[in-house]
C-alpha cells in the first residue's frame, strides 16, 4: 500500500485507528474454545465488527508463534480475512544481518514463500542499516522501525545520551532517514506527551508514526493527535486490549465495535481540528 | 542445560563449535530437493555428520519462518533430531514488551505450547529489561543477548559513545548483568580482534560468549580463543556456511564433517593452551 492510499483510507473512514490483534487463547471468550481454530474465529469476529472504524490491523506475531506451525496457520487465515483496504502490520520486531533480514522480509512480505503478504513489519534498529535495508527492497511495503517504545525498558537504552548531544532514539530517527523515505518507513513512537511528540516531529516531520500505548496502556489520544499529526495525518494509533477484550462474554464483538466506534468518533474530531 | 553441563560437553568433545543451521533451499544440493522435506533432510545429514565435533547447533529462525507453517515444521523436526547432549540455540533476535516477550519465550522454550524446546534464544536489547526478563524465567534456559554484532551495521548504533564514556554495547553488557547471572545469560559478540575481546572480557569475565563471524565471515579462531576464553571455556564459536556448504554436491555431509573436524582439532589445541 502507498502512503497516499493509506491517507485516502484515513479520510474515507475518518479514522487512524489500528486494532492490535494480540489474541490470547486465555483471554478470549470461553464459548469460542470449541471452534476448530479459536484464535482465528475470535479475530474474524473482531475484524467483522471493527473494520468500518479501523484503517489498520496489527497482529502481534508472538501470540501466534507461541503455538508453532498451528499458530502460523491462524495468522495466515487472519491476514487473508482482513479487508484489502486496511493497512496490515506484522508486529514482529525482527532484525538480523543482511541475508537473514532478507529472509524475514520474505516471511512477512512474500506470499509465495510463506503464505503471508503483510503491508509492513516492525523492525528493531540495534543491528543497524544492513539489518533494515532488505525489508525496504519490496515495492509498496513498509518498515516500521522501533524508535521510542512505550514500555518501562525504553529508559534502559533508548533515552541514553550520546556524546553528540542526542538521545539514542533521536539518533535512530535521524540516521535511519538515509535508509528509506517517508513512503516506505514509519516509526514506532510510544510517546503520549506533548514535548516528546514535538521533539520527534521536529526530526521526522513527514513520516507516519505508529503510536501504541493509547487505551489500556494509558496515554491521551488528544495529546497524540494535537502534537503528532501532520498534513497527511501521519498517525496510526494502536489499541489492542481496550478494544478486543472490551467484553469477555458472548457480546465481545459487539462491545469491540462500540469501543472502536468511540475511538473513531474522537479521531474524527481531531482530524477536523488538527489536519 | 546448565553451565556446568555445557562445560562438561566442551571438555568431552574438546570442542566449542556451534554449527549454524542457516539452511537455504537455494543452496542445498540439488538431489535433496526430491525429499519430502528437503530442509530437514539436509539438516539431518549435517547433524549426523558433525555432532561428534560440535557441542551446539544454532538454527537461524528466519530461514525456516520464510516458509511459514511448513518451515516451522522443518524447524521442529530439526530440533527433535539434534542429540540431547548438544546445546541448542534459536537464533531469533526477538524482544518485545513484557507480556509479548513472554509469548516468544513460550514459542522457543515451551514444547507443550509450540512444539519447540530450545535451550536458548538470541534476544535484541533495544527495548530494555522488561523485554528480556520473561525469557529468563524459564529454568535452565538461556538468553543470548546481542551486544556487539559482526555486521557492518553494528557501527550505526552499537559503538556510539555515550556521555557516561561507554559505548552503547558496553552499556548493554554492563546493565544486563543485573537482569540475570552467567548461568542464564550469554552474549553475542562478533569480535575477533584482541583489543575488543579484552575489553569485553573485562566487563563480563564469567559469561559465555557466542561468537559468530569465524569462518566464511572471516575472523581468527586463534585470536578469539586466546583473548576470549575463560576458566569454563566461556566460548561458543559459530560457523555456518563454511561447514554446511563445504560442498554443494552429494558429498556435502562428508565435506561438512571434514570441515567440522578441522575446526574441532584446532579448538582442542586452544583448549589445551588457554583453558
End-to-end CA distance of chain B: 21
Element (H, E) at A186: strand A185-189
For chain B, which ranges sit under pLDDT 70? 215-218
A171 vs A174: CA distance, rounded Å: 5
Q: Give residues 168 to 207 of A whose Cβ lies within 8 Å of B.
A: 168, 171-172, 175
Residue from the list B62, B158, B168 with its beta carbon closest to the beta carbon of A107? B62
Query: In 3D, which of B29, B67, B71 has the Cα closest to residue B49?
Result: B29
Contacts of B154 in chain A (CB under 8 A): 127-128
Q: Which of B200, B222, B214 is nearest to B259 (CA)?
A: B214
pLDDT of residue B191: 80
Which site among A157, A167, A176, A187 would you substitute to test the B interface, given the most B Cβ atoms closer than 10 Å to its Cβ? A157
Phi, psi at residue B167, to the nearest 5°?
A: -85, 160
The CA distance from A274 to A269, in Å, is: 9
CA dihedral A106, A108, A110, A111 (to 10 degrees): 140
At A193 the pLDDT is: 83
- In this prediction, residue B192 carries a pLDDT of 79
> How far apart (Å, rounded) are the C-alpha atoms in residues B230 and B233?
5
**The three grid cell numbers given for residue A160, joined into one nine-digit string:** 541514553
* pLDDT tens, per residue, chain A with 275 residues: 999 999 999 999 999 999 999 999 999 999 999 999 999 999 999 999 999 999 999 999 999 999 999 999 999 999 999 999 999 999 999 999 999 999 999 999 999 999 999 999 999 999 999 999 999 999 999 999 999 998 999 999 999 999 999 999 999 999 999 999 999 999 999 987 889 999 999 999 999 999 997 765 557 899 999 999 999 999 999 999 999 999 999 999 999 999 999 999 999 999 999 99
Identity of the residue in A68, A73, A175 whose CB atom sits nearest the CB atom of B115: A68
Rounded Cα–Cα distance for residues B116 and A67 (Å): 9
Cell readout for A209 is 508514526
Q: Which residues does chain A have within 8 Å of residue B172's beta carbon, measured at their own beta carbons?
A: 157
> Three-state DSSP class for A87?
strand
Number of Cβ atoms within 10 Å of the Cβ of B249? 10
B contact residues 66-95, partner A, Cβ 8 Å cutoff: 66-73, 76, 91, 93-95
Q: How many CB atoms lie within 10 A of CB B81?
A: 14
Helix (H, G, I), strand (E, B) or coil at B234: coil
Q: Is A93 a catalytic residue?
A: yes
Q: What is the dihedral of CA B96, B174, A128, B118, to 10 degrees?
A: -50
**Nearest-CA distance A275 → chain B (Å):** 31
Give the cell for residue B200.
569485553
The interface predicted TM-score (ipTM) is: 0.96
pLDDT at A201: 97
Catalytic residue among B93, B166, B255, B261: B93
Q: Does the beta-carbon distance from A128 to B151 stay under 8 Å? A: yes
- Which chain A residue is nearest to residue B178, measuring alpha carbons? A156
Phi, psi of A190 (to 5 degrees): -90, 40
In chain A, the domains with their CATH numbers are: 3-274 (3.20.20.70)
Condensed to tens digits (0 to 9), the pLDDT of residues B186-236 reads 999 998 788 999 999 999 999 999 999 776 556 789 999 999 999 999 999
Amino acid at each position: 500500500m502507498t502512503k497516499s492510499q493509506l491517507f485516502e483510507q484515513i479520510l474515507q473512514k475518518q479514522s487512524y485507528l489500528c486494532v492490535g490483534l494480540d489474541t490470547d487463547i486465555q483471554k478470549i471468550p470461553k464459548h469460542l474454545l470449541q471452534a476448530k481454530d479459536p484464535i482465528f474465529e475470535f479475530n474474524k469476529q473482531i475484524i467483522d465488527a471493527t473494520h468500518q472504524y479501523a484503517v489498520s490491523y496489527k497482529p502481534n506475531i508472538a501470540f501466534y508463534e507461541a503455538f508453532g506451525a498451528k499458530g502460523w496457520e491462524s495468522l495466515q487465515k487472519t491476514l487473508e480475512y482482513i479487508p484489502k483496504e486496511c493497512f496490515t502490520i506484522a508486529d514482529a520486531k525482527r532484525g538480523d544481518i543482511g541475508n537473514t533480514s532478507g529472509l524475514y522480509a520474505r516471511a512477512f512480505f512474500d506470499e509465495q514463500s510463506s503464505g503471508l503478504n503483510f503491508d509492513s513489519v516492525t523492525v528493531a534498529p540495534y543491528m543497524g542499516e544492513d539489518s533494515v535495508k532488505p525489508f525496504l527492497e519490496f515495492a509498496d511495503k513498509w518498515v516500521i522501525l522501533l524508535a521510542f517504545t512505550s514500555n518501562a525498558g525504553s529508559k534502559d537504552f533508548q533515552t541514553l545520551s550520546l556524546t553528540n548531544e542526542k538521545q539514542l532514539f533521536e539518533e535512530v530517527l535521524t540516521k535511519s532517514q538515509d535508509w528509506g523515505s517517508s513512503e516506505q518507513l514509519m516509526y514506532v513512537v510510544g510517546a503520549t506527551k506533548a514535548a516528546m511528540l514535538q521533539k520527534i516531529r521536529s526530526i521526522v516531520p513527514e513520516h507516519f508514526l505508529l503510536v501504541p500505548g493509547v487505551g489500556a496502556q494509558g496515554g491521551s489520544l488528544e495529546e497524540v493527535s494535537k502534537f503528532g499529526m501532520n498534513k497527511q495525518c501521519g498517525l496510526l494509533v494502536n489499541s489492542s486490549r481496550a478494544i478486543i477484550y472490551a467484553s469477555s462474554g458472548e457480546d465481545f464483538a459487539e462491545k469491540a465495535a462500540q469501543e472502536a466506534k468511540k475511538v473513531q468518533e474522537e479521531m474524527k474530531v481531531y482530524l477536523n481540528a488538527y489536519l
